[in-house]
Structure 1
Amino acid sequence: MENKKRILIGVSVIAIIFLLVGVNVYIAFAGKPTVKTTTLQQRDLSKTITTNGTVELKNVYKVYKDPQLGNISQVLVNENQEVKKGDPLLKYSNQQLILEIQQNNIDIKSTYIKIDDLNKKEKRLREKLKELKEKNASDQVKENLQEQLDSIDTEKETANLNLSYALKKKDILQKQENNLIVKSKITGTVIDVNDPNSQNYTQENLEPEPIIIIGDLNKLIVKGYISEYDSLQVQKGQKVTLTSDVSPNKSWYGKIQQIGYLPVNYNSNNPVNNNNDTGTAKYPVFVEIVGNTEDLKPGFQLMMEIKTETKKVFSLPISSVIQSEGKYYVYVVKDGKLHKREVKV
């Protein structure tokens, strides 16, 4: 019985000791904040320039009416038709050129006939001169024949010069005739075909409307405008991210293809003046779109984000930075203790 009492007393004492230790530990650490640490992470920091841009076709070929070639007799293509470089697009009719070609052919043919006739005459005279020499004819007779031969040589020389001129003229007329058929200079799709007999002009600059417009629908660019300062930061080959308000969940990518050397002066009547900054010089910038362009069409408005500079930096979560009196601080753990240090952000 006494042994059981001793065991119970011992257990109670041990329990009291553990309870007191637990209470002291709780008192020692209760109320102290939990501290989480992090490490510096290296990442890319990019400097960007943003501006608006318009999607355009990279390769466009426009055919205008040329009155010097004559009247357009036939348009050989239709809208949405696929064409290759060198395919005929339209044909001119030029009656004056046709008459010149016909006359040139007559001149060439008649000159050949004349040269052939002179060669025959020369052959007969030389045979006759040979015969007279064999018969010991008088010198006067032989001199007369020689004069006729000399005259024929002169006529032949003149005829050959005329023939050379006529053949050169034929080449020129042939090129002019070939120009009556206008051929495509690019491979693409016929976007627009207008009446060749119309004299419509665009409202912007009073230029005549093209009769045929061909564009390569697989190659698109974006044209935008940047300020004088930004033109010094933007360089060929820099990466560009393109977004659209119409498709907010989509983005496209490209690279700077060209920066205009000459500025475009903005004014209130200029359609690219979005900020009414009259007189401000803007420089055109062209971005070549890389990758899939199926969802884009000429005329679409895009936001251009140009990455002008990318560098490696160290970063921390914003929650690790404390701001006080206009300065920024972080706490650094060293030797198990926290040290407050000022940083630049």
Structure 2
Amino acid sequence: MNKKKIGIIVGVVVLISTLTFFGVYRSLADQAVSVEVESPQLQTISSEVMIPGTVELEHQQIVSFSPEKGSDYKVLVDVDETVEEGTPLVEFPNTQYGYELEQINIQIESGYLRINQVEKQLEAVKERKKELEKEVGKEEAEKAVRAEEDQLILERRMANLDLRQILLQKEALEEREEDHIVTSTGEGTVLSINEAASVSTFEGNETIVHIANKNSVIITGHLSEYDSVQVKEGLRVNISSDAIIEENWSGVIDSVSYFPKSTEPLDGGAAVQYPFQVAIEEGPVSVLKPGMQMIMQVVMEEKEAVTIDMSAIVQEDGEDYVYVYENGIIRKVPVTLGIADGNRMEVNGLSEEDRVVVNPTNRLVDGMEVSLHD
């Protein structure tokens, strides 16, 4: 093939390529870029911290075996029985109580008799003084009976003090007897009873009766050192459970401990944990059981703000922008971002009247003519 033919072929190829390029370019130029827009929304948004927690009974009472009260005892309630505050639960018999009480009652009766006897003697002295006044005069009669009257007044005072001391001994004895009958400190249900506890099986903390209010539960957990500074009493908490997916609960932070409860090794360091407690305010408490693991979303901040879909945000050189559509033209507008809530982002620099491009492509540039997506 000679050089002339080769030149003709190359020329034809170049011509065809050029015509094709300009044809495609003209087609693209004639077709405007289509975008989808939405307006910013004013809505309530919040930032949350996720913390695990455990269900616990808030009010419970455990009556333990007490060897000092005697090896015998009597349980006065049954399992699943509902009790009120002050209900007798366990009785520890006191075999010495009756004997001691009888002795004290005898001493009390003797004390009253002694006081009555002294009172009669004082009345007799007063009568004799009246008779002497008629014979020797008031002053001489006073001198004659003064020593005896003073002695009787002293004896009466001593008798009253002795009686008062005995009455205090009786009061203390009755209080000790009350200690031998353990009563409920609040409302609840008897969860378990152990009627086999004894000196031979006693290990220092053997439970006889366990009572708790099943409808009064709390959720406890631990905060990291960082979260303990952020999480405060009174913050709202949204609660859920992987075991009970169809239910949700809400509550508030009831308390955050000032002192850490435990320190556990973490990558050669120490993880300080601060106990906290959540009071449940709404939700079906009856389905919760002690030990259940819960997921808690602590609402750290909640406010009204202008938000946009996160897909509308464009980041370039560490700055945040959005494209705003107006009369067929898009403008690149810098914005300041706030807190995120789901797929919505708080944004400053826009109004609810603006029309923001969502899911912008790399083809968009500031000042470009675009059409709206149907």
Instruction: Report the TM-score, using the length of structure 2 for normalisation.
Output: 0.70
Q: CA deviation at 1:301?
A: 0.9
The number of equivalent residue pairs is 305
Q: Contact conserved, 1:265 with 1:279, CA < 8 A, in 2?
A: no
Deviates more, 1:122-131 or 1:161-170: 122-131
Match of 1:247 in 2: 244
Local SS of the residue matching 1:93? coil
Equivalent of residue 256 in structure 1, options 247, 253, 256 = 253
Q: CA deviation at 1:124?
A: 5.6
Local SS of the residue matching 1:95? coil
1:279 aligns with 2:279: no
Structure 1 CA distance for aligned equivalents of residues 135 and 336 of structure 2: 122
Match of 1:185 in 2: 185
- Decide whether aligned partners of structure 1 residues 37 and 131 sit closer, same or farther in structure 2, where only a CA change above 3 A counts: closer
Match of 1:9 in 2: none
- Decide whether aligned partners of structure 1 residues 279 and 72 sit closer, same or farther in structure 2, where only a CA change above 3 A counts: farther
1:290 aligns with 2:265: no
**1:175-231 Cα deviation digits (max 9, x unpaired):** 222232221111111122223426555xxxxx6133222211111110000111101
- Decide whether aligned partners of structure 1 residues 117 and 279 sit closer, same or farther in structure 2, where only a CA change above 3 A counts: same
Structure 1 CA distance for aligned equivalents of residues 302 and 149 of structure 2: 89
Structure 1 CA distance for aligned equivalents of residues 267 and 70 of structure 2: 46
Match of 1:315 in 2: 307
| Percent identity between the two aligned chains | 31
Question: Which is strand-richer, 1 or 2?
Answer: 2
Structure 2 CA distance for aligned equivalents of residues 243 and 276 of structure 1: 30
Q: Contact conserved, 1:265 with 1:282, CA < 8 A, in 2?
A: yes
- Decide whether aligned partners of structure 1 residues 244 and 116 sit closer, same or farther in structure 2, where only a CA change above 3 A counts: same
1:214 aligns with 2:211: yes
Local SS of the residue matching 1:280? strand
Q: Contact conserved, 2:214 with 2:286, CA < 8 A, in 1?
A: no
- Decide whether aligned partners of structure 1 residues 95 and 279 sit closer, same or farther in structure 2, where only a CA change above 3 A counts: farther
Q: Flag structure 1 segments of 5+ consecutive residues without an equivalent.
A: 1-26, 137-141, 202-206, 269-274
- Decide whether aligned partners of structure 1 residues 93 and 288 sit closer, same or farther in structure 2, where only a CA change above 3 A counts: same
Match of 2:291 in 1: 299
Residue type of the alignment partner of 2:309: P
Structure 2 CA distance for aligned equivalents of residues 246 and 228 of structure 1: 29
Q: Contact conserved, 1:266 with 1:277, CA < 8 A, in 2?
A: no
Local SS of the residue matching 2:109? helix
Q: CA deviation at 1:237?
A: 1.2
Match of 1:80 in 2: 80
Local SS of the residue matching 2:191? strand
Match of 2:198 in 1: 197
Structure 2 CA distance for aligned equivalents of residues 55 and 186 of structure 1: 20
1:333 aligns with 2:303: no
Q: Contact conserved, 1:267 with 1:277, CA < 8 A, in 2?
A: no
Residue type of the alignment partner of 1:247: I
Q: CA deviation at 1:117?
A: 3.7
Instruction: Report the TM-score, using the length of structure 1 for normalisation.
Output: 0.75
* RMSD, aligned α-carbons: 3.4
Q: Contact conserved, 1:266 with 1:278, CA < 8 A, in 2?
A: no
**1:284-303 Cα deviation digits (max 9, x unpaired):** 11011122212211111111
